[in-house]
Amino acid sequence: MYQTFGIIGMGVMGKSLARNLASKGYKLSLYNRYSKGIEENIAIDFINSFEELSEAKGFEDLNAFVQSLEKPRKILLMVKAGDVVDHLIEKLIPILNQNDIIIDGGNSHYKDTERRMEYLDTKGIGYIGSGVSGGEEGALKGPSIMPGGKSSSYNEISKILESIAAKDNQGSPCCAFIGSGGAGHFVKMVHNGIEYAEMQLIAEVYSLMRFGLLLDPLEISAIFKEWNNGTLSSYLLGITADILTKKEGDNYLIDLILDKAGNKGTGSWTSIAAAELGVSISMINEALFARYISAFKEERVKSDAIYNKVNRKEIFDLNVDQIRNAYTVARIVNHHQGMHLMSAASETYKWSLNLSEIARIWTNGCIIRSQLMQNLISILNATDRILHFPDIVTLVNNLDDDIKEVTAIAITNNHSVPCFSAACNYLSAYTNKFVSANIIQAQRDYFGAHTYKRVDDESDTSYHTNWNE
């Protein structure tokens, strides 16, 4: 009797997805590599730990694993992105048949996905690059799934993926075919970039309240819970409210956590992609760089002592409502920048991305699910530039003074708010028909004869000036 679906990689996400699939009635073959004394009987021990996996089969031999699957075989890779995926593909090719399908559910770079897809196409093997968001809990209960590749390959696995995905508020699966090539992994990459900025913004809000308004974590948690019951509702805000109530003895646990943030690379990939496509995602960039500077803890401690600038005894001349309004605007800017990046990629790579549909599958299951994302479904049906939508224009205009005030007071008090600052600067430039780029163009022409356009000539003629004459 053959099994319906195979999973390679029994890490946290692989195991959770396996349990999710099994609970939907799929008969699974599960493979994990064998490493004597390090990784032994991983799949079999996992199967024996959960009743829903009673019909699953565990393997440490790759050939036996493949042969256990019904044809055309459908195999999900849940392994570390990078060379590991390539090595595994090379091992699979000789033992797969034409029309078998490999699904890469890890955080692979979209260009790697496109390369692998083209390569496997020459072997007659289907390849889907699929973003999966939701963490361990989402993978188990229903993640947001972003598959890309050939639509014919997706059609073979769509029923399976859609059955395990989270459901939106209409009961539809938070899984949809994103587009050709590496579109799925690109969209997941941007998701992670937006996530970086959303997390950094909440950290800045917390920091302003804790060190600027001198509120304790429990008070901040109460504020976040109140916000989370309204238009600012989001998964990240909700979990942060929970985090701030956790105590260890007499101490809040948050005060015992070292302020050095990690990252796994997808944030930098988003920044690089934006640079290649010529799109400003300043908030994602600043969130990434904030993580980088946090890593230099020892240098920051030394610099703090040298400069002695930080004043954490006087209350900032701010109130909670102003911070709330600034946070509201900054989140809009962050989502605008992320959607702008996907729009540019769609045009450049001919992916025909449906931004409204992407927002829909991000309304549940994924880390950046929120009420704002729910609202973006209709907004992105009207325009791919969120900041141009009439209701958003009104909202931003009404709250614009507060984000400026919050940012200015924070900076004046030597309080770092990189994402708030980035949002302010972006809005100032994006809503101003004149910026200082004419000076840049003159400088480029002066030292490099790069030429420039003129405001009094609409013919698109390029000009050069001999600036020394």
Name the CA radius of gyration of the chain, rounded: 25
- Report how far residue 343's alpha carbon sits from residue 362's, in angstroms, rounded to the nearest whole number: 16
Helices 217-228 + 235-243 axis angle, to 10? 150
Q: Cβ(329)–Cβ(225) under 8 Å?
A: no
Active-site position among 15, 114, 188, 204: 188
Q: Which two tokens stand for residue 326?
A: 């600034």
Spell out a b/e string for 27-56, using b for 16 or more CB atoms within 10 Å of the CB, else e: bbbbbbbeeeeeeeebbbebbeeeebbeeb
Q: Which residues contact 238 (CB under 8 A, 6 or more apart)?
A: 224, 225, 228
Q: Is 43 helix (H, G, I), strand (E, B) or coil?
A: helix
H/E stretch holding 429 reads helix 418-430
- Report how far residue 310's alpha carbon sits from residue 304's, in angstroms, rounded to the nearest whole number: 8
Using alpha carbons only, what angle is made at residue 123 by residues 110 and 128, rounded to the nearest 5 degrees? 30
Active-site position among 74, 114, 195, 198: 195
Tokens 């496509």, located at residue? 277
- Report how far residue 362's alpha carbon sits from residue 70's, in angstroms, rounded to the nearest whole number: 32
Q: Is 289 helix (H, G, I), strand (E, B) or coil?
A: helix
Q: Which residues contact 321 (CB under 8 A, 6 or more apart)?
A: 402
Largest CA distance in the chain: 86
**How far does CA 245 lie from the centroid of its chain?**
26
- Report how far residue 177's alpha carbon sits from residue 148's, in angstroms, rounded to the nearest whole number: 6
For 230-382, strand residue ranges (E) read 247-248, 251-252
Q: Among this protein's residues, is 188 annotated catalytic?
A: yes
Q: Among this protein's residues, is 51 annotated catalytic?
A: no
- Report how far residue 219's alpha carbon sits from residue 221's, in angstroms, rounded to the nearest whole number: 5
Half-sphere exposure of 105 (CA within 13 A, CB side): 30
Residues written for the chain: 469
Tokens 């900032």, located at residue? 316
Question: Beta strand pairing status for 247-248 and 251-252?
Answer: antiparallel
Residues with catalytic roles: 188, 195
